[in-house]
Amino acid sequence: MNVELRGITKSFGPVIANSDVTLDIRAGEVLGLLGENGAGKSTLMNVLCGLYQPNAGEIRIDGRPVTFNGPGAAIEAGIGMVHQHFMLVPVFTVAENVVLGVEPVGKLDFLDLKKASDQVRAIKDQYGLEVDPDALIETLPVGVQQRVEIIKVLFRSAQVLILDEPTAVLTPQEVEEFFQIIKALRDAGKALVFITHKLNEILQIADRISVLRQGRITGSGDPKTMTTKDLAEMMVGRPVSFDVTKQPFAPGKDLLKIENLTVLHENSEIAVNQINFSVRSGEIIGIAGVQGNGQTALVEALAGLRHITSGTVTYQDHDITHSSARARHRMGIAHIPEDRQRTGIIPSFTVAENMVLDTYYDTRFSSRGQIKWDIVNEAAARGAVEFDVRTPSVFSAAGHLSGGNQQKLVVARELSRDTEMLLAAQPTRGLDVGSIEYIHERLIHARDEGDGVLIVSSELDEILALSDRILVMFKGNIIAEFENGDGQADKNEVGLAMAGAAP
């Protein structure tokens, strides 16, 4: 089944989300749709799924113009969407989730779960989607849950599959497996739309690429002849540098010293197990590892947000093992938290309020119990300009900013004061190329000025590009260490260590 979008325009009041977009989606092909957050990818796909009606333009299926009055009509026509956030009932089995809404029923409306399992098994065998139809969703890893979403769409006999940022939640191994599935589906004659902002992935899997910027198609082409540089330029609208330039590696004295550190999970299991390392000034330490190996607990313990069960943390020769988060903060330790929406900013607060979320008590910003809002606003505006936070005003709600700008806001808050140690957890997760480039520059700038920097990231490329030294965390332990002062660490070796194979 081939789908053509012809001149699709969709606006919301004065905001034009899509402008005259023309796309071809062909059977047996993977179309990569690339664009930054807010470029209009989701709107376009929601038009295709019947959730939105376009203001202008038409959709044709195999040459015939169609209109979808709602998502039901699009599903009927064979268009299925796999959402970025899964829509599964955690306490139901795989089969129950798949048939939800179109359950096979027998006599007297009897729910035939056996038949449902068999149908799921048939799809699974046909496309090689390894999953147990009788397993409960909540017991399955994220990668398998995603397969269930795909089976759900196939079960409704979709010929066109739209995959919205499918790899955002997957580990590197799961991404590999996922690509195998995509290839199997393509070879079975399905048409696939792969939406992403990750350049490497799109070059690896797509047969054709279209790039969307500010609601328009800014480029299309063949991935065999395109480079990440070309794509990034089409996506951002200006040349993007991927080469990180650092000053020569010249570490100073030990700044943060961690000895025999043990931290527990909420359920009292060991999260961080007796680890030792130190961060020197002028050095970036990268903690590599698949997510969920104790990195979150480590950073929170260092930031004073989680109880340290045993071991010591020394900062500039002071024992801070049991100091409060505020005390550490005042000593010059900055923290960019992992989950910016939940812990980094308060979405309903203004940009200015978020800019002083952890410095409002400082004598610069308040006196005699009163916050000096004029000074706060002024400082926030200055920070926003300096750190390239794109916002209409410092009085806008931070929740209205794009993810990249929210993260730049956090970075601005943490770095626009005297810091000597920076803890950065997943500093660029889910961000667009432009913002990633900017945040990397800032982290390196902090290092070049003599700060110690600890970066936790599940993106191996990021760790390799930034770190002077790489520690690999696996199941709460540091199982490998690589020197990377001149970029000499080997990607394969680090990757193997991440999978638990100690060198």
Partner 1 sequence: MSTPSKTDKAIQDLLRRAAPPRAEFEDLVIVPIFAVVAALILGAFTMLATNVELATIGQSYIALLKGSVGSLNAISETLTAAAPLILAGLGLALGFRAGLFNIGAEGQILMGGIAAVITGFSLPGLPFVLLLPLCLLSGALVGALYAGIAGWLRAATGAHEVISTIMLNLISYRLLDYLLRQPFIQREGRADPISKSVPDNAELPRLLDWLDPNLRVHAGIFLALAAVLVVYWILYRSKIGFEFRASGASPDAARFAGMRSGLIIVAAMATAGALAGLAGANQVLGVLDRATPGFSAGIGFDAIAVALLGRSHPFGVLLAGLLFGALEAGGRQMQVDAGVSIDLIGIIQALIIVFIAAPLLVRAIFPWGFRKPADVRKE
Distances 262 to 321, 351, 480 between C-alpha atoms, Å: 11, 36, 18
Q: Which stretch binds partner 1 (CB under 8 A): 240-248, 256-264, 300-308, 462-470?
A: 300-308
SS3 of residue 369 by DSSP: coil
Rule CB under 8 A: say whether 378 interacts with partner 1: yes
Closest-CA residue to 231 (of 186, 191, 196, 193): 196
Query: What kind and span of H or E run contains 397?
Result: none
Q: Minimum CB separation from partner 1 for residue 415, in Å?
A: 15
How many residues interact with partner 1 (rule CB under 8 A)? 48
453 near 244, Cβ under 8 Å?
no
**Which residues lie below 8 Å from residue 91, measured CB to CB, with a gap of 6+?**
136, 137, 138
In the complex, the smallest distance separating the C-beta of residue 165 from partner 1, rounded to whole angstroms, is 13
The yes or no reply on residue 395 touching partner 1 (CB under 8 A) is yes
Shorter beta-carbon distance to partner 1: residue 245 or 370: 370
Q: Output the smallest distance, CB 418 to partner 1, in A.
A: 16
Cβ distance to partner 1 smaller for residue 88 or 345:
345
Please identify, among the stretches 86-94, 376-384, 426-434, 493-501, the one whose residues bind partner 1 according to the rule CB under 8 A: 376-384
User: Is 39 a residue that touches partner 1 (CB under 8 A)?
Assistant: no
Least distance from C-beta 503 to partner 1, angstroms?
Answer: 35
Pull the structure tokens for residue 437. 């480039």
> Which pairs from 269-272 meet CB under 8 Å and 24+ separation?
270/476, 271/296, 271/297, 271/298, 271/476, 272/297, 272/298, 272/301, 272/476
**Tokens of residue 213, six digits:** 């910027």
Token readout for 41 is: 């990818």
Nearer to partner 1, 97 or 391 (CB): 391
Residues 40-59 that bind partner 1 (CB under 8 A): 42-43
What does 105-149 look like in DSSP terms, one character per residue? B-GGG-B-HHHHHHHHHHHHHHHT----TTSBGGGS-HHHHHHHH
Residue 471 CB, nearest distance to partner 1 (Å)?
A: 24
For the bound state, the minimum distance from the C-beta of residue 382 to partner 1, rounded and expressed in Å, comes to: 6
Minimum distance of partner 1 from residue 325's CB (angstroms): 4
DSSP 13: T
Would you count residue 373 as binding partner 1 (CB under 8 A)?
A: yes
Q: Are 264 and 271 in contact (CB under 8 A)?
A: yes
The answer to whether residues 345 and 410 touch, using CB atoms and an 8 Å cutoff, is: yes
- Residues 42, 60: Cα–Cα separation, whole Å: 19
Q: How far is the CB of 188 from partner 1 (least distance, A)?
A: 32
CA nearest 141: which of 130, 152, 151?
130
Give the one residue of 111, 142, 168, 385 binding partner 1; rule: CB under 8 A: 385
Q: What gap in Å lies between CA 418 and CA 411, rounded to an integer?
A: 13
Interaction pattern, residues 320-359, with partner 1; x per rule: CB under 8 A: ----xxx--x-----x-x----xxxxxxxx---x---xx-
Other C-beta atoms lying within 10 Å of the C-beta of residue 307: 10
Quick one: which of 5, 33, 284, 394 contacts partner 1 (CB under 8 A)?
394
Find the part of the chain contacting partner 1 (CB under 8 A) among 72-80, 237-245, 275-283, 319-327.
319-327
270 binds partner 1 (CB under 8 A): no
Site string for partner 1, 98-137 (x = CB under 8 A): ----------------------------------------
Nearest to 40 by CA among 213, 167, 233, 237: 213
Of 158-166, 177-185, 392-400, 483-491: span binding partner 1 (CB under 8 A): 392-400
Supply the minimum distance, in Å, between the C-beta of residue 300 and partner 1: 9
71 binds partner 1 (CB under 8 A): no
DSSP single-letter state for residue 243 = P
Rounded distance between C-alpha atoms, residue 494 and residue 478, angstroms: 12
Shortest Cβ 9–partner 1 spacing (Å): 14
Residue 129 carries which side chain, given as an amino acid letter?
A: L
Among 7, 15, 22, 322, binds partner 1 (CB under 8 A): 15
Residue 471: exposure state from Cβ atoms within 10 A (0-12, 13-18, ≥19)? buried
Among 391, 405, 407, 426, interactor with partner 1 by CB under 8 A? 391
Among 86, 179, 242, 360, binds partner 1 (CB under 8 A): 360
> Does position 160 bind partner 1 by CB under 8 A?
no
Binding site for partner 1 (CB under 8 A): 12-13, 15, 17, 38, 42-43, 303-305, 324-326, 329, 335, 337, 342-349, 353, 357-358, 360-361, 366, 369-371, 373, 377-378, 380-382, 384-385, 391-397
